[in-house]
Amino acid sequence: MDRLIDVENLTLQFRTDEGLITAVDDVSFSLNRGEVMGLVGESGSGKSVTAKALMHLNASNAIYSPESRITLHTDSGGIDVLSLSRAADLKVVRGGAISMIFQEPMASFAPSISIGKQMIEQLQLHAEMSKAQAREIAIEMLDRVGISDPSSRVDQYAFELSGGMRQRAMIAMALSTKPRLLIADEPTTALDVTIQAQVIDLMKELVDEFNMGIVFITHDLGVVAQTADKVSVMYLGRLIEEGPVREVIRDPRHPYTRGLLAALPRLDDLDAPLTPVPGDIPSPLERPTGCVFNTRCGDVVGPACSASVPLEEWIDPAHRVSCHLYAGKEAS
Amino acid sequence: MSDDILISAAGLSVGYKIGKGIFQHSILKAVDNVSIHIKRGSFFGLVGESGSGKTTLGRALLNAVPITGGNATYDDGDVNYDLTALSKDELGDYRRRAQLIFQDPYAALSPRMTVRDIIAEPLEVMKITSSRQETDERVREIAARCRLNLEHLRRFPHAFSGGQRQRISIARALVSRPQFIVADEAVAALDVSIQADVLNLLKQLQGEMDLTFMFISHDLSVVAHTCDHVAVMYLGRLVETAPTRQLFAAPKHPYTKALFSAIPSLNPDDRGRAQRLEGEIPSPTNQPSGCKFHTRCPHVIDRCRSEEPQLETADGAHEVACHRWQELLKVG
């Protein structure tokens, strides 16, 4: 296995007027090349903040704990991402080794600069090449993501493209620098299902072709089931369960993961009631003590749940869960 | 009583003039010759991609956009209105009887008003209550029904989560005791666990308050779980309509089939099984001749390009507009 990135003990707080907010709390995970990781959780679970940390791209009021370590493996050795501070060093990571695509492509393209010009700018920023060469690569990438007539589309502006085309152009731009890791933050949420299906197919093809790793942030477990190799579930900044996609969806262990699946309307059983996870996600200013989920959990096992943070238990070598239900138990 | 038709539309069209000048304009038909019947006390689902005209149809039935062709009537047993020719007084009364719930609970609530004032505003604007005391009583009653805490009424919307905000929006829509509610993507912006909660609440309120819903959504699994009857729209036309179970068990229109097939399945082993729809929905200013779906249909024949199919009865209340639906039954 070709390791791509290691995240160890990532803890991230934001300094705000209302106090110190913990957005990510002691999160560790790894990703290999050619692997797709689905990162799921409700709004406020810290999934986007975690993804941005991979590029050291959070706002200036972010405080990383001293134990936090993110190592990006490249052909010329590991890069300690969080130790980078000079723009020239960060450039190697941001838009170079790691690219990101967003939910709203209209907001990500500059409205008054043509798509091609933006792609050329990015290419020239990251590699020595002439404008003509960069333009050629831009056209080639637009063609690759299924945009018809790319040599004339390249001179169009974002508003001239439909939603699906814009998201394809966004992907073309993100991949033009041949990143090793692609972070996709809800890339299909704003699209119609038929277009979503096309974009998902495209991303899967590109993973194979470029042997990239993808961190796929989504709230849609159906999308995860169709794209990811493994799933990480986050709640209030903590990674509460991680495992291979089949195992987590068919045999979820954490009560929160089970709750998410029970809340989902399923087409194979129209009579099944929709069971919401009770209550609302607490404010990050009022993080519960002990297990962060204990205020909404239906399976509280005892005082331990509100007193101590559950340790990570390994269900099998690839599947881990942080819940007192499994404390000290061997795989069952 | 439950078999009464509340809303009935026959050949309903909504067109917009586009282009400059008196002689050079053309008509964009956002809704084109649509006939539907909504039973009293039902949950009527309306699905389709962006640009299919589903929002415009909902607005037309609320008399919020002008109907430019065909007929639409409203009959709740108390009053009987012709929606294409409402007098000023009738329109005022219809506003009380027909209400809208919006998609985005962050944009729909004024940040400068307390929750009490937000919910009370329709009563005051429509002069439904005669004293402040009566208004407060109505507000408290509907807030309790929507599971809002009474002490929440003094606060401002920013203090609430997405799910709570949507319950405030629902209370505001229901405070005038309407009969007919158009819910336009009312749960699309919510996390799944909250989505389940809001859907359950809408169902419960429907029973308690004898409401009729038109539920507009792009999410077919939500529609399958919530609605009794579903209509599928494409480029302003109704292409298929049927009781929910019948439609999901045996969709007949190639577009409906493609929509179902594009829903990301929760089963990871379904990868790559789905049939994909090529291309995107054409622009409504440049509509295809004949069947509007022929440019993307995998089963297109010459007749589809020249002759527009009409809705025909397939099986009881199941209607479909496709020249080839009977032939396609054999193909599957």
Return the CATH number at A82: 3.40.50.300
- For residues A282 and A264, membership in a common domain is answered with yes
- The CA distance from A332 to the nearest CA of chain B, in Å, is 23
Pairwise CB contact (< 8 Å): B225 & A260: no
pLDDT for res A154: 93
Distances in whole angstroms, Cα of residue B220 to Cα of each of B45, B247, B258: 9, 11, 12
Any CB–CB contact under 8 A between A271 and chain B? no
State pLDDT tens for residues B49-99. Answer: 888 999 999 999 999 999 999 999 999 999 999 999 999 999 999 999 999
List of chain A residues whose C-beta atoms are within 8 Å of the C-beta of residue B267? 225, 249
Test mutation, A280, A283, A295, chain B, max B CBs within 10 A = A280
Asked if pLDDT for residue B20 goes beyond 80, the answer is no
Q: Is residue B264 part of a domain?
A: yes
- For residues A151 and A170, membership in a common domain is answered with yes
- For residues A122 and A19, membership in a common domain is answered with no
pLDDT for res A205: 86
- The CA distance from A38 to the nearest CA of chain B, in Å, is 13
Asked if pLDDT for residue B3 goes beyond 70, the answer is no
Sorting pLDDT into bands at 50, 70 and 90, what band is B286? confident
Find the residue in B nearest to A198 (Cα).
B276
Sorting pLDDT into bands at 50, 70 and 90, what band is A332? very low
Residue that terminates a domain, selected from A142, A157, A178: A178
Q: Provide φ and ψ at B30, rounded to 5°.
A: -80, -35
Distances in whole angstroms, Cα of residue B96 to Cα of each of B40, B171, B182, B228: 17, 14, 13, 25
- The CA distance from A74 to the nearest CA of chain B, in Å, is 31
Q: Is residue B88 part of a domain?
A: no
Find the residue in B nearest to A282 (Cα).
B161
Owning domain of residue B266: 254-332
Q: Is residue A202 part of a domain?
A: yes
- Buried b vs exposed e over B33-42: b needs ≥16 C-beta within 10 Å? bbbbebbbbb
Asked if pLDDT for residue A135 goes beyond 60, the answer is yes
Any CB–CB contact under 8 A between A138 and chain B? no
Q: Which of A249, A270, A273 sits opposite B224 (nearest CB)?
A: A270
List of chain A residues whose C-beta atoms are within 8 Å of the C-beta of residue B43? none
Q: Is residue B326 part of a domain?
A: yes
Nearest to B201 by CA among B229, B230, B175, B166: B166
- For residues A203 and A75, membership in a common domain is answered with yes
Owning domain of residue A40: 3-97+179-326
pLDDT for res B49: 87
Q: Is residue B159 part of a domain?
A: no
Q: Is residue A331 part of a domain?
A: no
Q: Provide φ and ψ at B229, rounded to 5°.
A: -140, 140
Sorting pLDDT into bands at 50, 70 and 90, what band is B274? low
Residue that terminates a domain, selected from A154, A178, A202: A178
Say how many domains are in chain B: 1
Q: Which helix (H) or strand (E) holds A324?
A: none
- For residues A313 and A242, membership in a common domain is answered with yes
Q: Is residue A332 part of a domain?
A: no
- For residues A19 and A44, membership in a common domain is answered with yes
- For residues A146 and A261, membership in a common domain is answered with no
State pLDDT tens for residues B162-180. Answer: 888 999 999 999 999 999 9
- For residues A24 and A54, membership in a common domain is answered with yes
pLDDT for res B28: 86
Nearest to A242 by CA among A73, A38, A18, A21: A38
List of chain B residues whose C-beta atoms are within 8 Å of the C-beta of residue A273? 200
Strands (E), chain A: 3-16, 19-32, 36-40, 62-64, 69-74, 77-80, 98-101, 181-185, 213-217, 230-235, 238-244, 312-316, 319-322
Q: Is residue B194 part of a domain?
A: no
Cβ neighbours around B97 below 10 Å, total: 17
- The CA distance from A252 to the nearest CA of chain B, in Å, is 13
pLDDT for res A60: 87
Residue type, B232: V
- For residues A135 and A48, membership in a common domain is answered with no
Residue A4, Cβ density class (10 Å: 0-12 exposed, 13-18 middle, ≥19 buried): buried
Say how many domains are in chain A: 2
Side-chain half-sphere exposure of B327, counting CA atoms within 13 A: 7
- For residues A232 and A108, membership in a common domain is answered with no
Mark out chain B residues that contact chain A at CB-CB < 8 A: 49-50, 161-164, 191-197, 199-200, 218-222, 224-226, 244-245, 248, 258-271, 274, 276-277, 280-281
Q: Is residue B132 part of a domain?
A: no
Pairwise CB contact (< 8 Å): B162 & A43: yes
- For residues A118 and A90, membership in a common domain is answered with no
Q: Is residue B274 part of a domain?
A: yes
- For residues A203 and A305, membership in a common domain is answered with yes
Q: Which of A163, A194, A267 sits opposite B221 (nearest CB)?
A: A267
Q: Is residue B107 part of a domain?
A: no
Q: What percent of chain A has pLDDT over 90?
A: 60
Residue that terminates a domain, selected from A130, A162, A178: A178
Q: Which of A42, A260, A266 sits opposite B221 (nearest CB)?
A: A266
List of chain B residues whose C-beta atoms are within 8 Å of the C-beta of residue A164? 280
Pairwise CB contact (< 8 Å): A265 & B222: yes
List of chain B residues whose C-beta atoms are within 8 Å of the C-beta of residue A265? 196, 199, 219, 221-222, 224-226
